[in-house]
Amino acid sequence: MAQAKPDLAKPDLTQPSRVSERAEAMIETFIKDHGLRPGDRLPSERALAEMAGISRASLREAVGRMAARGRVTVRKTGILIAEPTASPSAAVAASWARETISAPLAPLVAYDAGYGHDVLEIRQALEGAAAYYAALRADPDDKTRIRDAFEAMGKSHGASTPIEEARKDAAFHLAIAEASHNAVLKQVMSSMFGLLQDSISQSLEKLYTVPQTFDALSQQHRALIETIEAGDAEGARQVSDRHLRFVETTIKRIDDDLARKARSTVARSAALQDKG
């Protein structure tokens, strides 16, 4: 098995704009330039981060995206080039998802809360399926990655911004998608990473206004891990569905309360103007 050595020459990283996407492009260039084959090992995480001139956190995000689409496999021994399991239809699905779903919807989700509820419905369909197949197919390394992602979420709570916590949350769900070993499902969810992250970020900003919500979410995530590790496919789907219904119901209650307060404020202002 070949072990590639770091190359100090950096490719042009001016495009695409996002740091993690630039890192992906750098890794792909490195793989091509060094003629790496399935089973070959990439340089260490630290070396790759130094080559790209980015933080290790951004590098991990890039590697996570590549793992979710089946390009690499992350093991305790390092980052390996994955076997080419994805079919042409998987690549088509990923491209279609990016061009027709993620790109047009990203600005809408960012500025209109109503679209966030639509994303939650789609998440229920995708993540329920991912949990189901992960319970059937996850290997020991998959389960370790899922647990690591769960622990990373816990560590980031209270010590990070909602955006960073959302990134950890999305990475957790992508780890489950990877464990499904369904190439199309992995590609579609990976291509929607940004949309998923934006949706989770908006959700967390609202959910954390409710006391003890983080504890409830953590318990739900832990239950999801346990059903996957137990190989309970239908149980994993049900836990995933209940988790997202909890998120949706809680957010709807918060939105309703905010709307009610806004109406009350308008009514009071109108009454004061009438008296004046």
Tell me: do 136 and 253 sit in the same domain.
Answer: yes
Tell me: do 171 and 242 sit in the same domain.
Answer: yes
Tell me: do 189 and 96 sit in the same domain.
Answer: yes
Residue 4 — very low, low, confident or very high, per pLDDT cuts 50/70/90? low
Tell me: do 75 and 115 sit in the same domain.
Answer: no
Does 274 reside within a domain? no
pLDDT digits (tens, 9 = 90+) for 21-62: 888 888 988 888 888 887 788 999 889 989 888 888 888 888
Please provide the average confidence, as pLDDT, over all residues in the chain.
Answer: 79
Does 171 reside within a domain? yes
Separation of alpha carbons 111 and 134, rounded Å: 33
Number of domains in the chain: 2
Tell me: do 77 and 120 sit in the same domain.
Answer: no
Tell me: do 142 and 258 sit in the same domain.
Answer: yes
Tell me: do 105 and 127 sit in the same domain.
Answer: yes
Does 77 reside within a domain? yes
Tell me: do 49 and 161 sit in the same domain.
Answer: no
pLDDT digits (tens, 9 = 90+) for 111-132: 666 677 777 888 889 999 999 9
Whether residue 8 is predicted with pLDDT greater than 50 in this model: the reply is no
* Average pLDDT of the segment spanning 6-32: 66
pLDDT digits (tens, 9 = 90+) for 178-214: 999 988 888 778 777 666 666 676 676 667 666 678 8
**pTM of the predicted model as reported, rounded to 2 decimal places:** 0.60
Tell me: do 224 and 117 sit in the same domain.
Answer: yes
Q: Which domain holds residue 67?
A: 19-81
Instruction: Mark which of 81, 109, 125 sits at the end of a domain.
Output: 81
